[in-house]
Amino acid sequence: MGKQTISPGGAIEGSVELPGDKSISHRYAILAALAEGSSEIVNYATAADCRSTLDCLRELGAAIEAAPGRLRITGKGLDGLRQPRQTLDAGNSGSTMRMLAGVLAGQAFASSITGDESLRRRPMRRVIEPLRRMGAEIRGRDGDCAPLEIRGGHLHGMDYAPPVPSAQVKSAVLLAGLFAEGITTVRESIRTRDHTELALREFGAVVETAGGAISIQPRPKLVARQLQVPGDLSAAVFLIAAALILPNSSLTLHNVGLNPTRARVLDFLISIGGSLRIPSVKARDGELTGDVSVRQAPLAGGRIAGAQVAEMIDELPMLAALGPYTEQGIEIHDAQELRVKESDRIATLAGGLRLMGARVEEFPDGLRVEGRGAGKLRGATVDPQGDHRIAMALAVAALGAEGKTTIRGAECAGVSFPEFFETLKRLRED
Per-residue interface string for the shown chain with ligand S3P, residues 191-210, x marking contact by CB under 6 A: --x-----------------
Task: State which residue, 188 or 337, has the beta carbon closest to ligand S3P.
Answer: 337
Distance in angstroms (rounded) separating the CA atoms of residues 90 and 283: 31
* Cα 48–Cα 54–Cα 60 angle in degrees, nearest 5: 145
* Cis peptide preceding 147, ω within 30 of 0: yes
**Catalytic residue status for 314:** yes
Name the residue nearer to ligand S3P (CB basis): 172 or 397.
172
Among 89, 197, 314, 383, binds ligand S3P (CB under 6 A): 314
The nearest distance, CB 398 to ligand S3P, in angstroms, is 23
Could you say which of 194, 291, 314, 387 is catalytic?
314
Number of residues engaging ligand S3P in binding (CB under 6 A): 11
DSSP β-ladder status, 381-382 and 366-369: unpaired
Q: Which is nearer to ligand S3P, 184 or 259 (CB)?
A: 259
Q: Which residues contact 400 (CB under 8 A, 6 or more apart)?
A: 8, 245, 246, 324, 325, 376, 377
Query: Which stretch, 63-71, 161-169, 267-275, 392-400, contacts ligand S3P (CB under 6 A)?
Result: 161-169
Contact 205, 175 (CB under 8 A): no
Give the residue with the Cβ less far from ligand S3P, 215 or 259.
259
Rounded alpha-carbon distances, angstroms, from residue 27 to 41, 69, 99, 198, 242 = 11, 17, 8, 10, 29
Residues 264 and 285: their CA atoms lie apart, in Å, by: 21
Our measurement of the distance from residue 161's CA atom to the centroid of its chain's CA atoms, rounded to an integer in Å, reads 22
Tell me if 313 contacts ligand S3P by CB under 6 A: yes
Under 8 Å between Cβ of 286 and 199:
yes
Residue 259 binds ligand S3P (CB under 6 A)? no
Q: Which of 114, 168, 184, 385 binds ligand S3P (CB under 6 A)?
A: 168
Interface mask (CB under 6 A) for ligand S3P, residues 83-122, using x and -? Answer: -----------xx---------------------------
Dist. CA 162–CA 167, nearest whole Å: 10
Site for ligand S3P contains 184 (CB under 6 A): no
Based on CB atoms, which residue is closest to ligand S3P, 78 or 313? Answer: 313
Q: What angle do the packed helices 233-245 and 22-34 form, to 10 degrees?
A: 170
The smaller minimum CB distance to ligand S3P, of residues 32 and 299, is found at 32
Asked whether position 175 contacts ligand S3P by CB under 6 A, the answer is no
Positions in 319-358 near ligand S3P (CB under 6 A)? 337
**Shortest Cβ 423–ligand S3P spacing (Å):** 20
Minimum distance between the CB of residue 44 and ligand S3P, rounded to whole angstroms? 14
What 8-state DSSP symbol labels residue 201?
H
Angle, in degrees to the nearest 10, between helices 22-34 and 48-59 = 10
Q: Where are the alpha helices (DSSP H) in 141-282?
A: 167-177, 195-202, 233-245, 264-271
Separation between Cα atoms, residue 276 and residue 281, nearest integer Å: 14
The yes or no reply on residue 393 touching ligand S3P (CB under 6 A) is no
| Catalytic residue positions, numbered | 314
Site for ligand S3P, rule CB under 6 A: 23, 94-95, 166-168, 171, 193, 313-314, 337
